[in-house]
Amino acid sequence: MSKTEKIELKIAGMVCAGCSAAVERALSGLDGVSSARVVLDQKTAYVEYDPAKLAEQDFKKAVEAAGYKVE
């Protein structure tokens, strides 16, 4: 079993629950993510992932593809 790591990402552009849900879906859909939770009030995504499969730039690409930006 691979070890997991956690990362916090500050997300710009989220203004509603739909926004945070879109970011959460984008992050959760990445192969190697075991959990993704977005807190709208904090404008922060909390992701637990397998570092053998993903790096920080992968999360940035997924967030940008959903129409938002990692600060």
State the DSSP string of 21-40.
Answer: HHHHHHHHTSTTEEEEEEET
> What's the pLDDT tens digit per position in 27-55?
999 999 999 999 999 999 999 999 999 99
Q: Are 31 and 68 in contact (CB under 8 A)?
A: no
CATH code assigned at 56: 3.30.70.100
Instruction: Tell me which residue range forms the domain holding 37.
Output: 5-70
> What's the pLDDT tens digit per position in 5-30?
999 999 999 999 999 999 999 999 99
Q: How many domains in the chain?
A: 1
**What is the Cα–Cα distance from 68 to 61, expressed in whole angstroms?**
10
Residue 14: half-sphere exposure toward Cβ, Cα within 13 Å: 26
pLDDT at 2: 67
**What is the Cα–Cα distance from 47 to 32, expressed in whole angstroms?**
10
